[in-house]
Amino acid sequence: MKVRTAPAVAMLLASCGLAVAQTAPGETQRAPSATQPAPSTTQPQGTTGPGSSAQPQWYTHQEGEMRASKIVGSTVKNSAGETIGDVNEIVLAKDGQVSAVIIGVGGFLGLGEREVAVSFKSLRTTQDGVRTVLTLDADKETLRAAPEWRWSENRTTGPGGVAR
């Protein structure tokens, strides 16, 4: 019986500490005042910098947009419909735009695979049922000859940089 009691007591004591940590010492919870001032609508939008408070920019999905989670892991095929790789990663620029897609080429089950950076603009997207399929006008040999992407250097190796 003691074997089951000890873990239960430990969990109870740990949860009590969490409940106490919800309120700082000397701090009391107050109900919102009915006379709170309304937020100002004259503040300029999009101003950030020292001393300014950035307001969240809410977003609504637009038709034709895709989620990154649906692209990563997607199959990349050539124009003939042959599988030439799969998407391992997406690279974003500082402004949030997609700069490149990192495609895993060759190998078997991730062993011997090399990564190549390709401009996102050079890919066409289609749906194969519920899966996203990307098409690139290149063959396996072209991708094998492309500069290898190295994350440790955060750039491609060899001449040419990101394939455009």
How does pLDDT run across 83-99, given as a tens digit for each residue? 999 999 999 999 989 98
| pLDDT for residue 164 | 41
Q: Map out the domains of the chain with their CATH numbers.
A: 68-156 (2.30.30.240)
Which amino acid makes up residue 111?
L
Strands 131-136 and 75-77: parallel
- pLDDT tens per residue, range 30-66: 444 444 445 444 444 555 555 556 788 888 888 878 8
Sort 101 into a burial class: Cβ within 10 Å, 0-12 / 13-18 / 19+.
buried
CA distance 151 to 157: 10
Backbone angles phi, psi at 71, to 5 degrees: -90, -45
The structure's pTM equals 0.56
Other C-beta atoms closer than 10 Å to the C-beta of 25 total 5
